[in-house]
Structure 1
Amino acid sequence: MAPETIAAIVQTESHGNELAIGVNGLARQPAPASSIVQAVQIARYYVGKGYSVDLGLGQINSRNMKALGLTWDNVFDPCTNLAAAAVVLSGNYRGVRAGLHPQRALRIALSMYNTGSQSRGFSNGYVGKVIGNAGVSDGIQPVAIRVSAFTGATYTGEGSSAAAQLAALVAENTSASAQPKAAPPPPPPSWDVFARADYERARLAGEGENR
Structure 2
Amino acid sequence: MVPFLVLAQQCAPTVAPQTMAAIVQVESGFNPYAIGVVGGRLVRQPVSLDEAITTAQSLEAKGWNFSLGIAQVNRYNLPKYGSTYAQAFDPCKNLKMGSKILEDCYRRAIVKMPGQEQGALRAAFSCYYAGNFTGGFKTKPGSPSYVQKVVASADVTTKPIAVVPMIRKTPDVAAAVAAPVKKRQPADRNSVLVDLHPSSQSMPATGVANAPVRLKTEQPATADAPLGKDNTDGVVVF
Could you say whether these structures have the same fold, taking a TM-score greater than 0.5 normalized by the shorter chain as the test?
yes
- Separation of aligned partners in 2, 1:54 and 1:41: 14
Matched residue SS, 1:31: coil
More helix by share: 1
Is the contact between residue 134 and residue 143 of structure 1 (CA under 8 Å) also seen in structure 2? Answer: no
- Separation of aligned partners in 2, 1:75 and 1:67: 12
Task: Quote the RMSD (CA, aligned, Å).
Answer: 2.4
Count of residue pairs brought into register by the alignment: 150
Instruction: Specify the alignment match of 2:39 in structure 1.
Output: 25
CA displacement, residues 10-59 of structure 1 (integer Å, 9 cap, x when unaligned): 00000011100111111x42421111010010011111111111101100
Is the contact between residue 73 and residue 98 of structure 2 (CA under 8 Å) also seen in structure 1? Answer: yes
User: Runs ≥4 in structure 1, deviation > 3 angstroms?
Assistant: 141-145
Give the TM-score normalised by the residue count of structure 1. Answer: 0.65
Q: Indicate whether 1:128 and 2:128 are aligned.
A: no
CA displacement, residues 118-156 of structure 1 (integer Å, 9 cap, x when unaligned): 1110113000000000046xxxx99977228xxxxxxxx
TM superposition shift of 1:117: 1.6
- Separation of aligned partners in 2, 1:94 and 1:103: 12
Quick one: higher RCO (CA 8 Å, sep 6+), 1 or 2?
Answer: 2
Give the TM-score normalised by the residue count of structure 2. Answer: 0.58
Matched residue SS, 1:106: helix
Matches for 1:129-148 after TM superposition, within 5 Å: 129-135=149-155, 146-147=162-163
The answer for unaligned runs of 5 or more in structure 2 is 1-14, 140-144, 165-189, 197-238
Sequence identity of aligned pairs in percent? Answer: 37
- Separation of aligned partners in 1, 2:119 and 2:159: 10
Is the contact between residue 36 and residue 76 of structure 1 (CA under 8 Å) also seen in structure 2? Answer: yes
The answer for unaligned runs of 5 or more in structure 1 is 149-185, 193-211
| AA of the residue aligned to 1:113 | Y
Is the contact between residue 18 and residue 155 of structure 2 (CA under 8 Å) also seen in structure 1? Answer: no
Instruction: Specify the alignment match of 2:186 in structure 1.
Output: none
Is the contact between residue 18 and residue 77 of structure 1 (CA under 8 Å) also seen in structure 2? Answer: yes
